[in-house]
Amino acid sequence: MDKEAVLKTLNRILELELAGVVRYTHYALMIYGYNRIPVVDWLQQQADEGLLHARMAGELVTALEGYPSLKIGPLLESHSHDIGAILRESLAHEGEALKAYYELLALVRDKDVRLEEYARNMVATETAHQDAVNKMLRKPD
Protein backbone atom coordinates (compact mmCIF):
# COMPACT_ATOMS: atom_id res chain seq x y z
CA MET A 1 0.00 0.00 0.00
CA ASP A 2 1.28 3.47 -0.90
CA LYS A 3 0.97 5.03 2.55
CA GLU A 4 1.80 8.55 1.36
CA ALA A 5 -0.89 8.44 -1.33
CA VAL A 6 -3.39 7.09 1.21
CA LEU A 7 -2.54 9.88 3.66
CA LYS A 8 -2.83 12.50 0.94
CA THR A 9 -6.25 11.17 -0.05
CA LEU A 10 -7.46 10.93 3.54
CA ASN A 11 -6.39 14.52 4.12
CA ARG A 12 -8.24 15.62 0.99
CA ILE A 13 -11.31 13.81 2.34
CA LEU A 14 -10.85 15.59 5.68
CA GLU A 15 -10.67 18.95 3.89
CA LEU A 16 -13.74 18.20 1.74
CA GLU A 17 -15.78 17.08 4.72
CA LEU A 18 -14.84 20.20 6.70
CA ALA A 19 -15.80 22.33 3.71
CA GLY A 20 -19.13 20.52 3.73
CA VAL A 21 -19.65 21.46 7.37
CA VAL A 22 -19.15 25.14 6.54
CA ARG A 23 -21.15 24.94 3.32
CA TYR A 24 -24.17 23.19 4.85
CA THR A 25 -24.12 25.44 7.92
CA HIS A 26 -24.11 28.51 5.67
CA TYR A 27 -26.88 27.14 3.49
CA ALA A 28 -29.02 26.41 6.55
CA LEU A 29 -28.71 30.04 7.59
CA MET A 30 -29.72 31.31 4.14
CA ILE A 31 -32.97 29.39 3.64
CA TYR A 32 -36.15 31.44 3.65
CA GLY A 33 -39.75 30.70 2.80
CA TYR A 34 -42.48 28.29 3.76
CA ASN A 35 -40.29 25.19 3.27
CA ARG A 36 -37.60 26.56 5.57
CA ILE A 37 -37.95 24.30 8.61
CA PRO A 38 -37.55 20.86 6.97
CA VAL A 39 -34.84 22.07 4.60
CA VAL A 40 -32.87 23.76 7.39
CA ASP A 41 -33.16 20.62 9.52
CA TRP A 42 -31.82 18.49 6.66
CA LEU A 43 -28.94 20.89 5.97
CA GLN A 44 -27.99 20.99 9.65
CA GLN A 45 -27.98 17.18 9.73
CA GLN A 46 -25.64 17.19 6.73
CA ALA A 47 -23.30 19.62 8.51
CA ASP A 48 -23.28 17.43 11.63
CA GLU A 49 -22.60 14.33 9.56
CA GLY A 50 -19.80 16.10 7.69
CA LEU A 51 -18.08 16.86 10.98
CA LEU A 52 -18.34 13.19 11.97
CA HIS A 53 -16.89 12.18 8.60
CA ALA A 54 -14.05 14.68 8.99
CA ARG A 55 -13.22 13.28 12.41
CA MET A 56 -13.22 9.73 11.05
CA ALA A 57 -10.82 10.69 8.27
CA GLY A 58 -8.59 12.54 10.74
CA GLU A 59 -8.50 9.56 13.08
CA LEU A 60 -7.35 7.36 10.20
CA VAL A 61 -4.66 9.88 9.27
CA THR A 62 -3.25 9.82 12.79
CA ALA A 63 -3.60 6.02 13.03
CA LEU A 64 -1.34 5.86 9.97
CA GLU A 65 1.10 8.20 11.72
CA GLY A 66 0.22 11.10 9.46
CA TYR A 67 -0.58 14.71 10.25
CA PRO A 68 -4.21 15.81 9.76
CA SER A 69 -4.59 18.74 7.41
CA LEU A 70 -5.54 22.11 8.83
CA LYS A 71 -6.85 23.21 5.44
CA ILE A 72 -10.43 23.32 4.31
CA GLY A 73 -11.69 22.34 0.90
CA PRO A 74 -13.15 24.78 -1.63
CA LEU A 75 -16.07 26.90 -0.48
CA LEU A 76 -17.17 28.27 -3.83
CA GLU A 77 -20.84 29.01 -4.15
CA SER A 78 -23.08 30.71 -6.68
CA HIS A 79 -24.46 33.13 -4.06
CA SER A 80 -27.91 32.07 -5.21
CA HIS A 81 -29.82 30.98 -2.17
CA ASP A 82 -32.69 29.46 -4.04
CA ILE A 83 -33.26 25.97 -2.63
CA GLY A 84 -32.74 24.40 -6.06
CA ALA A 85 -29.40 26.17 -6.53
CA ILE A 86 -28.29 25.14 -3.06
CA LEU A 87 -29.20 21.53 -3.75
CA ARG A 88 -27.35 21.55 -7.07
CA GLU A 89 -24.25 22.96 -5.33
CA SER A 90 -24.64 20.28 -2.66
CA LEU A 91 -24.83 17.62 -5.34
CA ALA A 92 -21.59 18.87 -6.89
CA HIS A 93 -19.90 18.89 -3.47
CA GLU A 94 -21.09 15.35 -2.72
CA GLY A 95 -19.72 14.29 -6.11
CA GLU A 96 -16.26 15.57 -5.20
CA ALA A 97 -16.34 13.71 -1.89
CA LEU A 98 -17.53 10.54 -3.61
CA LYS A 99 -14.67 10.80 -6.10
CA ALA A 100 -12.16 11.07 -3.24
CA TYR A 101 -13.62 8.04 -1.47
CA TYR A 102 -13.40 6.02 -4.69
CA GLU A 103 -9.77 7.08 -5.04
CA LEU A 104 -9.10 5.89 -1.50
CA LEU A 105 -10.83 2.60 -2.25
CA ALA A 106 -8.61 2.06 -5.29
CA LEU A 107 -5.50 2.71 -3.19
CA VAL A 108 -6.40 0.30 -0.39
CA ARG A 109 -8.37 -2.46 -2.15
CA ASP A 110 -7.02 -5.87 -1.08
CA LYS A 111 -4.28 -4.14 0.93
CA ASP A 112 -5.92 -2.92 4.15
CA VAL A 113 -9.29 -4.33 5.22
CA ARG A 114 -10.02 -1.54 7.70
CA LEU A 115 -9.41 1.21 5.15
CA GLU A 116 -11.18 -0.71 2.41
CA GLU A 117 -14.29 -1.14 4.58
CA TYR A 118 -14.16 2.52 5.57
CA ALA A 119 -13.93 3.59 1.93
CA ARG A 120 -16.73 1.25 0.87
CA ASN A 121 -19.02 2.46 3.65
CA MET A 122 -18.33 6.07 2.79
CA VAL A 123 -18.96 5.44 -0.92
CA ALA A 124 -22.33 3.98 0.04
CA THR A 125 -23.09 6.92 2.35
CA GLU A 126 -22.12 9.57 -0.20
CA THR A 127 -24.07 7.78 -2.92
CA ALA A 128 -27.13 7.79 -0.65
CA HIS A 129 -26.65 11.55 -0.16
CA GLN A 130 -26.57 12.05 -3.92
CA ASP A 131 -29.73 9.97 -4.27
CA ALA A 132 -31.50 12.06 -1.62
CA VAL A 133 -30.50 15.34 -3.27
CA ASN A 134 -31.51 14.06 -6.70
CA LYS A 135 -34.93 13.13 -5.32
CA MET A 136 -35.32 16.58 -3.75
CA LEU A 137 -34.50 18.19 -7.10
CA ARG A 138 -37.21 16.24 -8.94
CA LYS A 139 -40.40 18.08 -9.70
CA PRO A 140 -43.54 16.21 -8.67
CA ASP A 141 -45.79 15.47 -11.63
Residue pLDDT, tens place only, 108-119: 999 999 999 999
Number of Cβ atoms within 10 Å of the Cβ of 5:
14
CATH number, position 56: 1.20.1260.10
CA angle 24, 29, 32 (to 5 degrees): 115
* Predicted confidence band of residue 34 (pLDDT cuts 50, 70, 90): confident
pLDDT band, residue 75 (cuts 50/70/90): confident
What total of structural domains would you count in the chain? Answer: 1
Band (pLDDT 50/70/90 cuts) for residue 131 is very high
Range of the domain at 101: 3-137
The pTM for the full model equals 0.92
DSSP for residue 35: T
Nearest-5° Cα angle at 68, 65 to 72 = 160
